[in-house]
Amino acid sequence: MKSDWQIAQEKQNWLEHAPDALPPYPKADHLLEFNVAAVTNFRFFIDASSFSVGSDGVARYVLVARSPSGAQNVSYEGIRCKGASYRLYATGRRDGTWTKARDDSWRPIGHEPIDWRRALNDDYFCPRGGMIASAAEGIDALRRGGNPASAGDSRPTSGN
């Protein structure tokens, strides 16, 4: 049974241009750290070499979440600004390979205090509800610690 949110997404007649291949496994020298919440000891990174903005309005990236002890989770994900939703494409294995996600559905981004997807959506990739124009703009926002267009204005803009 589909949720109301899934039905609404289908009604919008939006078609995703899913990537043909998974990106290379992330390398430490390509990681850009970003802030999620002051209440976590985890550190979050985006692999700049994997970051893209598709013509379908999806920002795709490799995420690395690292614990204080050095353990890390790696995932390949996408965020769609229109509707504030995300999709998990694959998770990384210790041997540097990928496992494709079993569930390929889009899900609404939550409002948990420690939610990297919410931080990426609100503060970096979807300023004021719109979509960044390019991968370069997203990488610049990560390097700056946020997208300048996100600061102080919660009015939605047009976007994908």
Split into its structural domains, the chain has a count of 1
Is 160 inside a domain boundary? Answer: no
Is 158 inside a domain boundary? Answer: no
Is 157 inside a domain boundary? Answer: no
Read off the pLDDT of residues 119-159 as tens digits, 9 standing for 90 and up.
999 999 998 888 999 999 999 999 999 988 876 544 344 44
Q: How confident is the model at residue 8 (pLDDT cuts 50, 70, 90)?
A: low
Output the domain CATH number for residue 100.
2.40.128
Higher pLDDT, 115 or 47: 47
Backbone angles phi, psi at 66, to 5 degrees: -115, 130
Is 133 inside a domain boundary? Answer: yes
Is 132 inside a domain boundary? Answer: yes
Question: In the prediction, which pLDDT does 40 show?
Answer: 79
Q: How confident is the model at residue 12 (pLDDT cuts 50, 70, 90)?
A: low
Rounded CA separation 67/69 (Å): 5
Domain range for residue 54? Answer: 4-148
Of all residues in the chain, what percent carry a pLDDT higher than 90? 61
Q: Are 94 and 102 in contact (CB under 8 A)?
A: no
Is 54 inside a domain boundary? Answer: yes
| Owner of token pair 């390509």 | 30
Is 19 inside a domain boundary? Answer: yes
Could you tell me the pTM of the whole model? 0.83
Q: How confident is the model at residue 113 (pLDDT cuts 50, 70, 90)?
A: low
Extract long-range pairs of 141-150: CB within 8 Å, 24+ residues apart. Answer: 142/32, 142/34, 142/46, 142/48, 143/32, 145/34, 145/35, 146/35, 147/123, 150/122, 150/123, 150/124
Is 155 inside a domain boundary? Answer: no
